[in-house]
Amino acid sequence: MKKPKIVSGFSKLSKRGKIRWLVENFFSNPEEVARELKSFWYGDPQKQKIFDDFSENTVSNFYLPYGVLPNLDVNGTLYCVPMVIEESSVVAAASSAAKFWLDKGGFKSEIISTQKIGQVHFDWKGDFDKLDALFPSLKKAIADSTEPITRNMQERGGGISNIELVNMSHLEENYYQIKMTFETCDSMGANFINSILEEASRTLSLFVGQQEHFTEEEKKVNIIMSILSNYTPECLVRTWVECPVEDLGTFENGNMDAETFAFKFVKALKIAQIDIHRATTHNKGIFNGIDAVALATGNDFRAIESCGHTYAARDGSYKSLSYAEIIDGKFRFWLDIPLAIGTVGGLTSLHPLAKRSLEMLGKPSAKELMMIISATGLAQNFAAVRSLVTTGIQQGHMKMHLMNILNHLEATEKEIILVLSHFKDKIVSFTAVRDFLTILRNNTSSEIKYT
Ligand code: MEV
């Protein structure tokens, strides 16, 4: 790599100009890299423009696999769920869990709540009781001033559901909040919430400034910031699977019975409740499924992840988001997760494949999508823990990973056939595959049989 130089006015360059600067400054083979970056552009320039406009300084597109999880039964409706994920075996694992539960009642899901939160954080020096006494009028002023923004949402059944004044000055001197709760219907609502909060902050400053019985100091509000909170514990969905233990069947080619499996499964879930190292990996498995559907449907997976992890630590220590129990011979496995997602607005209708994803799911409401996403997370979690307490994770994982290794080693079609057959009953590792390929490649005699 050449020594990076400071660049000014980069964002003003044309896309080709940006690529030129990039390849000339960072690559030893500029022509080749420029060609490669351009090769990932959409064929249709109109569509490419949509992608370019999503972000800034875009020079190309970064491809990820778009797969589908068929046969996911949620509340009796069969979905084919789109998943965008690069990790091998995630889609296969979720598909196998979906199929496993298909004849055992499928996944059940219910929406517990759909409230989102935003805050105006402000610094104010004064007698809190005086501000608190005025709060009913301030609340009305905020509702009135934000009405032009909330009108449309109100027509759809949403809007501002609550406004509170929160005294935080015991934690930080002169620190207070206007905490607002919202119902944003089928949209994720980030822009809606942030616009309201900024308007509310202006109203707050005006309102306080107009209070004649306030001291000069009390008439001044120092707005620190106005922003939604990605922690939405009241935008919650619960999803579960259950069946009599004996219906779970046998595992490991009949070598593990249902009782042993259920015991180990429940124990694994308890471990994820009490050990943060396991809890983190356990929840990562859940988010393998959740993020993949969030991405495929144009939702903000960073918001979903940060919320989920905070929720997992809601009682002071980080724990599993899912639970399992056996009561009266019945195995039950469930997930409670906050999911602030949308099916209208944002990328959902702009990204051509996000739009197709929602179409594939039957144009769900946000509530329905919450249930689909959480069922995918639970399916993923079931598949991971099932593997862990039976065969171990590597068996399935490395089989899927084998193709990645073969692609990395640029195996030919003929070599792929021979390698797949060789590793059918063997442990896959990068070294083992590379060594086997080396033997294959060094051996000019095609007479040798590889088993
Ligand atoms: C790998 O991406 C996810 C798992 O580690 C999850 C888990 O351990 O439960 C398999």
Task: Examine the domain organization and report whether 303 and 191 are in the same domain.
Answer: no
Query: What was the pLDDT predicted at 380?
Result: 98
From ligand 1's centre to the CA of 403, what distance in Å? Answer: 19
Is position 105 within any domain?
yes
Query: What was the pLDDT predicted at 446?
Result: 47
Ligand 1 pocket mutation, candidates 96, 319, 388, 401, criterion most atoms within 8 A of CB: 388
Of 25-29, 110-114, 374-378, 425-429, least confident by mean pLDDT is 425-429
Task: Examine the domain organization and report whether 212 and 264 are in the same domain.
Answer: no
Name the closest-CA residue to atom 6, ligand 1: 285
Instruction: Answer with the one of 205, 229, 253 that is the final residue of a domain.
Output: 229
Average pLDDT of the residues in 80-98: 96
Is position 249 within any domain?
yes
CB 393 near ligand 1, within 6 Å: yes
Tell me the three state secondary structure of residue 308: helix
Task: Examine the domain organization and report whether 23 and 145 are in the same domain.
Answer: no
Name the residue among 105, 67, 97, 68 with its Cα closest to residue 378.
97
Is position 234 within any domain?
no
CB 190 near ligand 1, within 6 Å: no
Say which CATH number the domain at 164 has.
3.30.70.420
- Residue 426 or residue 294, greater confidence: 294
Read off the amino acid at residue 199.
E
Query: What was the pLDDT predicted at 429?
Result: 85
Query: What was the pLDDT predicted at 88?
Result: 86
Is position 3 within any domain?
no
Is position 169 within any domain?
yes
Task: Examine the domain organization and report whether 374 and 426 are in the same domain.
Answer: no
Instruction: Answer with the one of 229, 260, 278 that is the final residue of a domain.
Output: 229
Residue 53 has pLDDT above 50, yes or no: yes
Query: What was the pLDDT predicted at 254?
Result: 94
CB 384 near ligand 1, within 6 Å: yes
- Percent of the chain predicted with pLDDT > 90: 87
Task: Examine the domain organization and report whether 359 and 275 are in the same domain.
Answer: yes
Task: Examine the domain organization and report whether 207 and 260 are in the same domain.
Answer: no
CB 272 near ligand 1, within 6 Å: no
Task: Examine the domain organization and report whether 327 and 379 are in the same domain.
Answer: yes
Ligand 1 pocket mutation, candidates 381, 393, 395, 404, criterion most atoms within 8 A of CB: 393
Tell me how far apart the alpha carbons of residues 383 and 385 are, in angstroms, rounded to a whole number. 6
From ligand 1's centre to the CA of 265, what distance in Å? Answer: 14
Average pLDDT of the residues in 384-391: 96
Task: Examine the domain organization and report whether 359 and 266 are in the same domain.
Answer: yes
What b/e readout covers 86-100, taking b as 16+ CB neighbours within 10 angstroms? Answer: eebbbbbbbbbbbeb
CB 288 near ligand 1, within 6 Å: yes
CB 280 near ligand 1, within 6 Å: no
Q: What are phi and psi of 217, to 5 degrees?
A: -65, -40
Task: Examine the domain organization and report whether 168 and 134 are in the same domain.
Answer: yes
Tell me how far apart the alpha carbons of residues 331 and 266 are, in angstroms, rounded to a whole number. 9
Query: What was the pLDDT predicted at 451?
Result: 40
Query: What was the pLDDT predicted at 3?
Result: 72
Name the closest-CA residue to atom 2, ligand 1: 285
Residue 447 has pLDDT above 70, yes or no: no
From ligand 1's centre to the CA of 281, what distance in Å? Answer: 6
CB 256 near ligand 1, within 6 Å: no
Spell out the residues 6+ positions from residue 169 whose beta carbon is closer than 8 angstroms to its own: 128, 175, 176
Query: What was the pLDDT predicted at 427?
Result: 80
Is position 123 within any domain?
yes
Pair 286, 342: CB distance under 8 Å: no
- The residue range of the domain holding 14 is 10-54
List active site positions. Answer: 87, 284, 300, 397
Tell me how far apart the alpha carbons of residues 340 and 177 are, in angstroms, rounded to a whole number. 22
DSSP H stretches of helix in 40-120: 45-54, 90-102
Task: Examine the domain organization and report whether 294 and 384 are in the same domain.
Answer: yes
Task: Examine the domain organization and report whether 73 and 214 are in the same domain.
Answer: no
Model confidence, pTM: 0.90
Task: Examine the domain organization and report whether 265 and 191 are in the same domain.
Answer: no
Instruction: Answer with the one of 229, 252, 277 that is the final residue of a domain.
Output: 229
pLDDT, averaged across the chain: 94
What are the pLDDT digits (tens) for 169-184? 999 999 999 999 999 9
Tell me the three state secondary structure of residue 391: coil
Say which CATH number the domain at 290 has.
3.90.770.10
What are the pLDDT digits (tens) for 13-52? 999 999 999 999 999 999 999 999 999 999 999 989 999 9
What are the pLDDT digits (tens) for 325-365? 999 999 999 999 999 999 998 889 899 999 999 999 999 99
Atom of ligand 1 nearest to the CA of 285: 6
Average pLDDT of the residues in 192-210: 98
Residue 445 has pLDDT above 60, yes or no: no
Taking only Cα atoms into account, the Rg of the chain, rounded to an integer number of angstroms, comes to 27
Residue 166 has pLDDT above 90, yes or no: yes
Number of domains in the chain: 4
CB 281 near ligand 1, within 6 Å: yes
Is position 349 within any domain?
yes
Measured from the Cβ of residue 212, the count of other Cβ atoms closer than 10 Å reads 5
Is position 299 within any domain?
yes
Residue 311 has pLDDT above 80, yes or no: yes
Q: Retrieve residue 341's tokens.
A: 């997602």
Tell me how far apart the alpha carbons of residues 325 and 333 are, in angstroms, rounded to a whole number. 7
